[in-house]
Amino acid sequence: MGIIEAIILGFVEGLTEFLPVSSTGHMIITSSLLGIQRDEFTKLFEISIQFGAILAVVILYGRKFFVPKAFGIRHWQFYGKLIIGVIPALVLGYLFSDKIDKLLESPTTVAITMLAGGFILLFIDAVFKKPKIESDDQVSFGNAFMVGLWQTIAMVPGVSRSAASIIGGMQQKFTRYLAAEFSFFLAVPTMFAATVYSLFVKKWGAGEVARKGYQIIMETSQNTIAFIAGNVVAFVVAMFAIRFFINYLKVYGFKVFGVYRIIAGIILFSLLLTKVIEG
């Protein structure tokens, strides 16, 4: 992977990570269209690049993470809810890591889930019309755990972690604004854990050539520069994407994202059928 490809993927990650359109799906599609070889570094890059995106959440919501009392929430309550919420993803991610890796290589899976998720988002605002929970200090530990369970659906590529956790929040009677914000907060421990696992725990490759993620990144200067550049771009773009999304939701809801997913799913199926992208 060259520096230009890393920057493009960083842009895609930052733009799509917090929108309910599936960042993983877009990364797979973009990698395929750019003709990027599906080697170990590319697979690692597509996971670890999330670090730049979650850093944008921490910066934008710095008072929430570092000065919770300013919002009437004690430290242990705020972080406790995030810890409870991330447990399902940690457990299932550890148990099914290899199967998830295989799904990540399937554009066909992405096309199916993009379409299915699109139709769901078309009607989500009409289904959950009477929210009762308006601020995160009203969120219980049980609510947080249930949203975390919903989030695990996004382990299937194309589902969208953001979409799954937002729908989970609305199912728990969150307002759509709070559901989106809580989805951002929950992304931080979830994606941080995935990044740390991919860099320092998981062994990439097989047999004697298996290496840790950080070893692959430091293997060549090109890998190192690509990793840094991708994360920097993802961070900057995510800052703008989060602000846009949260302001858009206040007025318009999710229907446009449903339409977008359906169109993207149809285009992806077309590319698969014409062999532009291999399924």
Distance, in Å, from the CA atom of 116 to the CA atom of 248, rounded to the nearest integer, reads 23
Q: What is the Cα 49 distance to its own chain's centre?
A: 10
Which has the closest alpha carbon to 269: 108, 105, 30, 34? 108
pLDDT, tens digit only, all 279 positions of the chain:
889 999 999 999 999 999 998 887 788 788 878 888 878 898 899 889 999 999 999 999 888 877 655 455 456 788 899 999 999 988 887 777 667 666 666 788 888 999 999 999 998 888 888 889 988 888 999 999 999 999 999 888 888 889 999 999 999 999 988 999 999 999 999 899 889 989 998 888 776 678 899 999 999 999 999 999 999 999 999 999 999 998 898 888 899 999 999 998 898 888 888 877 776
Which has the closest alpha carbon to 5: 270, 238, 237, 223? 223
Distance, in Å, from the CA atom of 159 to the CA atom of 24, rounded to the nearest integer, reads 9
pLDDT of residue 141: 94
Distance, in Å, from the CA atom of 19 to the CA atom of 183, rounded to the nearest integer, reads 10
Give the domain ranges of the chain. 3-273
What does DSSP assign to residue 202?
Answer: P
Distance, in Å, from the CA atom of 252 to the CA atom of 125, rounded to the nearest integer, reads 10
Distance, in Å, from the CA atom of 170 to the CA atom of 163, rounded to the nearest integer, reads 11
pLDDT of residue 105: 63
At 236, the amino acid letter reads: V
